[in-house]
Structure 1
C-alpha cells in the first residue's frame, strides 16, 4: 500500500471514490507477501497487485462490489485443483485479502503516513478488519504523535502501544484484541466479549545502498539498487566525476572522501555498502569503517589479485578475521558477468540471496519451496463469495 498511497490520495483529493485491497495473510506458497495491495478507481482504473495475476480479476470484481455497497470485506483465495481456470492460486498457497472503500478518515490517515514516510520517518498504519461489531477506524502512528482513531478509546491505547513497538521494523501483522460490547440501557448484565482484529503495516524508511566510487559500474549498481527499492547514495572524492547527471538514478550524489562520509552517516542492519573503486587510498579506509558496523552486506569490486592485496591491507589496518569474513569480494555471483550492467545483476542476485538466507543455486536443481515459507491467520469470520465457504476467525498473534 505504501507505494500506491500517493496515487490513491490524488484520486481521493479529486473527489473520486476508490477501493483498496490488501493481502493480510499468506499461508503456504504465494507470489506476493502480506502488505501487497491493489487500488481500484471508480472509473475502473486499477493499480498494484495482490497475487501477481492469479486472482487479480476476482479481487478487482470484489473491489467494485465494495465500492457499490460501501461494506468492507475480507475473503480467502486458495489453490483450485478441480479446475485450472477456476479462481485460485496455482502455486498452491492461500491468501486473505481485505477490501475497503477509502473514506475521508482513511485518506487523512494515509496522507499523514505518506508525509512521514517521505521525510524518512518510521510510521505504522493500523486499520480495523471487518467482523461482527467491528468499526472502520484507522490510525497512523509515528514516534511523537498519531492521527486517527479506532472509535474505541480503550482499543486506541492498545493499538498505539503495539504500533510504536513496530516502528523500528518493516512489514505487516494482524493482532486480535478482546473487548466487551456495552449493551444499550445496561441493567447490570455482563457485557458480551468480542474480538477485534487490526491490521498493522509498518512503513520503515527504505534501506540504504551506499555506492563508493563514481564509475560506470557504480552507475549500473545505482540503477538496479533503485529498482530493488533502496535509497541510493553515490559518493566519491573526485568532483569531476561525481555529478547528478552521471548518476540520475541515485537519490543522493555526494562529493567527499568515502571513509569520511561513511563515518558521519547513520546506518542500520539493512544498509548495503558497495566499494567500486580500485585504489587502496579509497578502498581500505572505507572498508575498515564499513566492516566495523553491523551492516546487511559489504561488497567490493576487483580482481582476485586486487582482493588478496586488499585483505592484507585491511588486516594491517586492524580489521579482525571475523570482520574480514563478512566481506563479499569479489562481489556478486558466478554468472560470467563482464559489462557494468551484468556485474550489477550479479551483485543484486547475491544481495537478494544473502538477505533471504538462500543458496543462490538454480531452482531447477532444488526440491524445496520457491517462495519463502509463510504462515498467517485468516480473516475475521465471514462468507467467502468466491469459493462459497466460511473463513475461520483470526487466531491471536
Structure 2
C-alpha cells in the first residue's frame, strides 16, 4: 500500500539528511499515481519507488542539488519511444511530474507531526503551495478534528478546506492539483488516512502467514486468541497488537470503526459463532469467515449468508495450504479497501 507509512517510520528513527520525492501530477498511464512518495537518504538509500526503475537513478542524481538549493519540480515525459526520451523501453506512456523537497527542520517537524496524527487514528488533509522560483513549498495540515499545523497560514480558506477534507473522507477522491484557492498559486492537495486496521480472531498456523501478508500490504494487524501459547510475538512479529482472552472479554475491549476489517479463523465453531454474533451488525469495511458458506450459515443460524460477509474468504485462485490461502485473503482485503470510498487520496 502507501509508501508514506514507511517514509514516516524512517524519518522518525533516522537522523540523516534526506530528500522527499512525490508524484504530484500524472497524464496518461504510469507505474505509480499522484501521492506516491519516495525517500532518498543522505547515503543514497531509498525508501519506496516511483516507477518500475526507469526514474530512480535520475532522481537519486539530483539529491545533492536539492539538499543544497531547495525544492524543485521535474517532469518526465514517458510518452515517446525515441532513443533520447524517458519513454524508451518503459512502456508507461505517461507524463509524470515530481516534486523534490529537502527535509529541512521545518518540513521534518511537519512530517513527524503528520505521523503522530496518523498514529492516533486521525485523517489529515495536506495542502502544499509550490513556489518553483523560490525553490520552496509551504504546507498546511488539517486533521479530521480541526487541528491545523504547518507553515502556510490558511485562516481565510479554512471553511472551504474543511469542506474539501470532508469530501475527501466521504468520496475517496485522488490526490492532485487545483488552483481555486489562489489563481496565481499552484496548490497540491493530498489526503492521508491511518493504516487500515485488521483484526484476526484466531492464532492458529494459518493465521501466521496471513498476519505477515497483511502487514506487508499496509494493514495494522491485531491478533486475538484465548490461548497465550499461540498468541505470541515470536509467532506474530508483524502484529502491532496481540490480545489474549476469551471472546466475551476481548470484544468488550475493542471499538470497531467502519474502516476496520475483521477475519474469523479460530477453527472453533462456538467461538466463531460468539464473535460473529457480536460483529455482524457492525459497519465494518470487511468481514470474513474462514470455512465454507454452509458452515457460516450454521454460525448465523440462517439459510443464506448476507452478501457483506465474505465466506469463503479470499480470491478464488485455487489456493491450497496456509500460505496460498493467506495470499488470496490478503489480496481480497486490498481489493476491498482500495474500492471502498474514503480510502484513496484527494483530488480537486
Q: TM-score, normalised by structure 1?
A: 0.73
Give the drift of 1:276. 0.9
Q: Deviations over 1:77-136 (max 9, x none)?
A: 232433267313522233221122233221221121122223333333332123578963
Q: Deviations over 1:6-55 (max 9, x none)?
A: 434565x55x3x32210112333222122211223444443322223132
Q: Of 164, 175, 180, which aligns to 1:177?
A: 180
1:270 and 2:273 are equivalent in the alignment: no
Q: Matched residues in 2 for 1:44 and 1:90: separation?
A: 27
Q: How does 1:294-309 map to 2 (within 5 A)?
A: 294-302=283-291, 304=292, 307-309=293-295
Q: Which residue of 1 aligns with 2:118?
A: 117
Q: How does 1:163-202 map to 2 (within 5 A)?
A: 164-165=165-166, 168=169, 172-179=175-182, 194-202=183-191
Q: Of 150, 153, 157, which aligns to 2:152?
A: 150
- Seen in structure 2, the aligned counterparts of structure 1 residues 178 and 340 have a Cα distance that, compared at 3 Å, is closer
Farther-moved stretch of structure 1 (325-334 vs 207-216): 325-334
Q: Which residue of 2 aligns with 1:284?
A: 273
Give the drift of 1:283. 1.2
Q: Which residue of 2 aligns with 1:232?
A: 221
Q: Matched residues in 2 for 1:38 and 1:227: separation?
A: 17
Q: Matched residues in 2 for 1:78 and 1:282: separation?
A: 56
Q: TM-score, normalised by structure 2?
A: 0.82
Q: Matched residues in 1 for 2:345 and 2:117: separation?
A: 30
1:87 and 2:86 are equivalent in the alignment: yes
SS in 1 for 2:107: helix
**How many corresponding residue pairs?**
337
- Seen in structure 2, the aligned counterparts of structure 1 residues 123 and 292 have a Cα distance that, compared at 3 Å, is same
Following TM superposition, where does structure 1 have runs of at least 4 consecutive aligned residues deviating by more than 4 angstroms? 131-135, 166-171, 374-377
Give the drift of 1:200. 2.8
1:78 and 2:64 are equivalent in the alignment: no
Q: Matched residues in 1 for 2:125 and 2:77: separation?
A: 28
Unaligned runs of 5+ in 2: none
Q: Of 6, 9, 12, which aligns to 1:3?
A: 6
Contact 1:23 1:33 in 2 (8 A): yes
SS in 1 for 2:335: helix
Q: Matched residues in 1 for 2:165 and 2:204: separation?
A: 41
SS in 1 for 2:298: helix
Q: Matched residues in 1 for 2:346 and 2:230: separation?
A: 49
Unaligned runs of 5+ in 1: 180-193, 359-373, 378-396
- Seen in structure 2, the aligned counterparts of structure 1 residues 159 and 104 have a Cα distance that, compared at 3 Å, is farther
Give the drift of 1:376. 10
Q: Matched residues in 1 for 2:212 and 2:110: separation?
A: 32
SS in 1 for 2:184: strand
Give the drift of 1:160. 5.6
Contact 2:131 2:137 in 1 (8 A): yes
Q: Matched residues in 1 for 2:241 and 2:346: separation?
A: 38
Q: Matched residues in 2 for 1:347 and 1:162: separation?
A: 35
